[in-house]
Amino acid sequence: MLPLGPARSGGGPLRIGVLVSATGANLSTLISMERAEPDRFQVALVASHGERAKALDVARAHGVETWTGDFDARCGVASRATGPAARAEYRRRARSWHDGLSARMAAWEAEHGELDLIVLAYHRWIEGDLLDRYHGRMVNQHPGDLSVLDPDGHRVLIGNDPVTAAIALGHSATRTSCFLVDASPDGGAVLCQGPPLVLPRGSTPPDSRAHELEQKRVSDRPALEWTVRAFASASLALSDRTHPDGSRVVRINGTDTALGGRRLTGS
């Protein structure tokens, strides 16, 4: 069994680092938690792969130390890496860039104290030292139900646009999954799923983008809040058992859960 919780002993607020790419919705959730309970939560560091993410402005307005990046200039863009050689070179550069970020974060922690949890709101694939450094302490929000499996036990709603995929498959609702990040494509242990958001029925397919934006409010935020609180209270662990998709079974307060972890139902 692998307990999940604060990296440090001695108490104090859960110290959170956030990797950002876009508007800062998840970051705003974390900052709201800190404002409400500063003795329990602290957003200590925010880093981006680029220079213009709106989330950086959210962090600065709250007085959080922010780091910008030069990922695209140094690594290129994944969609433009066509062919095996180009893809291999892109991955090599991307891993090197993130290894450098890991080293910088290690030096920062040596001066400022260890981070307990890393939250991703991040649009770049991570490999290498950064994953190893925060093994069991890095979570991501995915706008798809990662407990949906195909007959071979593979997760169906992975990738960049699970809401559109769910609509195409005729699902009645979507929900956000908060999961531990590992080297697999959206394959880590699912800790929590936010409340489902019903898809409207009719002759016209729903607007997937509008639906996903509403899902951020209805499902993303509750799932992230629950997960961060569970880390702070050290109520999570990974069992030695695995689910049919190969992910570790999540234990909450000593009890094994089904694939999907804690499933929230809303108010």
Integer Cα distance of 23 and 224 in angstroms: 16
Residue 202 has pLDDT above 90, yes or no: no
The CA distances from residue 118 to 15, 122, 169, 237, 267, in Å, are 9, 11, 33, 17, 28
pLDDT value of position 267: 60
CB 39 within 8 A of CB 62: no
Start-end of H helices in the chain = 25-36, 54-61, 71-75, 84-112, 129-133, 162-168, 208-215, 221-232
What residue type is 246 in one-letter code?
G
Dump pLDDT digits (tens) for 100-137. Answer: 999 999 999 999 999 999 999 999 999 999 999 999 99
CATH 3.40.1280.10 assigned to 12-134: no
Radius of gyration of the chain from its Cα atoms, rounded to whole angstroms: 18
Residue 9 has pLDDT above 70, yes or no: no
pLDDT value of position 154: 97
Strand partners, 163: none
What number is the average pLDDT over the span 87-111? 97
What number is the average pLDDT over the span 206-218? 92
The per-residue DSSP string of 166-184 comes to HHHTT-SEE--EEEE--SS
Dump pLDDT digits (tens) for 50-71. Answer: 999 999 999 999 999 999 999 9
User: Which DSSP state fits 257?
Assistant: -
CB 190 within 8 A of CB 247: yes
Integer Cα distance of 104 and 87 in angstroms: 26
Greater model confidence, 6 or 105: 105
- Cut 0.85: pTM above it: yes
Instruction: Please give the structure tokens belonging to residue 209.
Output: 């983008």
Greater model confidence, 202 or 28: 28
Residue with structure tokens 């979507």? Answer: 174
pLDDT value of position 1: 81
Sketch the domain layout of the chain as residue ranges.
Answer: 12-134
pLDDT value of position 92: 96
